[in-house]
Amino acid sequence: MKLSKLAEDITTSPILTIAAQINAKKAAGEKIFNFTVGDFDSDIFPIPDLLKAETIKAYNDNQTNYPGAFGVPEFRDGVAQTLNRICGLNYTAEDIQIASGSRPLIYACYKVIVDPGDKVVFPGPSWNNDYYTLLTNTEATIVETSPENDFMPTAEELRPHLDDAQLLALCSPQNPTGTVFTRERLKEICEMVIDVNKRRSTDEKPLYVMFDQVYWLLTFGDVEFHHPLTVCPEIKDYAVFIDGLSKSFAGTGIRVGWATAPAHILPKMTAFIAHIGAWAPKPEQVAAGKFLLDTDAVDTYLNQFRAELQSRLQGFYDGFMALKSKGYPVDAIAPQAAIYLTVKVNLVGKTTPDGTVLEDTDAVHAYLLNTVKIGVLPFSWFGATSYGDWFRISVGTCRQEDVAEVMDILEAGMAALS
């Protein structure tokens, strides 16, 4: 029966679909290592103890009424102080918009800035921008990136696409790659956006930038996250920043996110969030505010969390480098941030023991999942049309002892091919 055009076009995320399929296989007794979804096994990576305790307390204190359109003031203050303390910014609680995770804020950003038919530019691979352009009936322009630049877009790559664009969607640390903008490359992009806007007339819509920064607290070693406002303060009038608790504090089910934006954009996002009812639950907001204001608790959790994630990511990276040194057709980019490792598994054209030729990336992906029993995601699922032999490994469900076992299994799976 006939539905709207959007309903006809929209599909479930293939990432969530494959995760559900893997969970069904595991429930049926199969041993599969699931490195597909950007989620956490909460038994391995629980949320901070203080956040959990304060959430329970808030429910016991009956903090269960409407939280207000902007969000609970104490939580907004906690967000502002966190950004100011770590990034050297100058936010107040009035600059913060709260919502039920970062997704509604990204959607609100799109709906407030772009009209149907507007041009939205984003890199390939990247997370979910293809769906947000579908939801807003806008024109998606995917800019292919390369391993030479850690799959992060450069100003040179973006420049040819921006003169007639209305929104540039960026993410750093990047999902799916786990890589980060250097200060210099970020500055070049911000200055390019400003130059584009200086050439536009006052009656034209500016080029805006949405920065998804939900992984910014999870960087490793010498890698630094650079907030665009510290690199190029002039970008402030054109930039929306999206963040939340979901990744940096393993709270994907907590559903608390926040945004900062120019004064002419933030109230419109507030109205949109209110109309779709995407408030974060009040008990979680109350708890998150108390947690973020306890800087010792925040820093203690992050230091341990980062160390555990880095250990797993580094273990996989070292394993791939060892396989590469043995002559296997693999590669990887050293871990920089987030919960992801970018790896290359070039098995197209190989033949399995049962005589099946792995003719394309989908066949390689299926072989890794169904025969080798390792679930990873190809970059083609994130909008990339080039570099089909690159994949994302997510370690949010990985135990440290899994790393060596997985690398042994992968080596055996590749050795079985001819």
pLDDT tens by residue, 237-258: 999 999 999 999 999 999 999 9
Whole-number CA gyration radius for the chain: 22
Which of 294, 329, 359 is the C-terminal boundary of a domain? 294
Looking at 277, 294, 311, which one is the last position of a domain?
294
Given a cut of 90, is residue 306 above it in pLDDT?
yes
The answer to whether residues 200 and 331 belong to one domain is no
Residues 141 and 237 in one domain: yes
Same domain, 409 and 335: yes
For 260-298, what is each residue's pLDDT tens digit?
Answer: 999 999 999 999 999 999 999 999 999 999 999 999 999
Q: How far is CA 36 from CA 17, 126, 303, 396, in A?
A: 10, 15, 25, 9
Report whether 70 contacts 98 (CB < 8 A): yes
Mean pLDDT of the chain: 96
Span 189-196, average pLDDT: 98
Q: Quick check: is 37 in a domain? A: no
Please report, rounded to a whole number, the percentage of residues in the chain having pLDDT higher than 70: 100
| Residue located via tokens 């989908």 | 362
| Ramachandran angles phi, psi of 373, nearest 5° | 70, 40
Same domain, 103 and 245: yes
pLDDT over 90 (residue 19) = no
Tens-digit pLDDT profile for residues 371-406: 999 999 999 999 998 888 999 999 999 999 999 999
| CA–CA gap between residue 340 and residue 238 (Å, rounded) | 29
What pLDDT shows up at residue 151?
97
Place of tokens 């907030």: 227
Total domains, the chain: 2
* Strand 33-34 to 97-99 pairing: unpaired
Domain end point (choices 252, 269, 294): 294
Q: Are residues 248 and 341 in the same domain?
A: no
Query: What pLDDT does residue 243 have?
Result: 98
Number of residues written out for the chain: 418
Give the torsion through C-alpha atoms of 285, 305, 240, 195, to 10 deg.
Answer: 160
pLDDT beyond 90 at 213: yes
Indicate if 93 and 119 belong to the same structural domain: yes
**pTM for this model (two decimals):** 0.95
The helices-and-strands tally (H runs, E runs) of the chain is 14, 13
Tell me what pLDDT residue 1 has: 85
Check whether residue 146 and residue 264 sit in a common domain. Answer: yes
Structural domain that includes position 99 = 49-294
Give dist(CA 402, CA 218) in Å, integer: 21
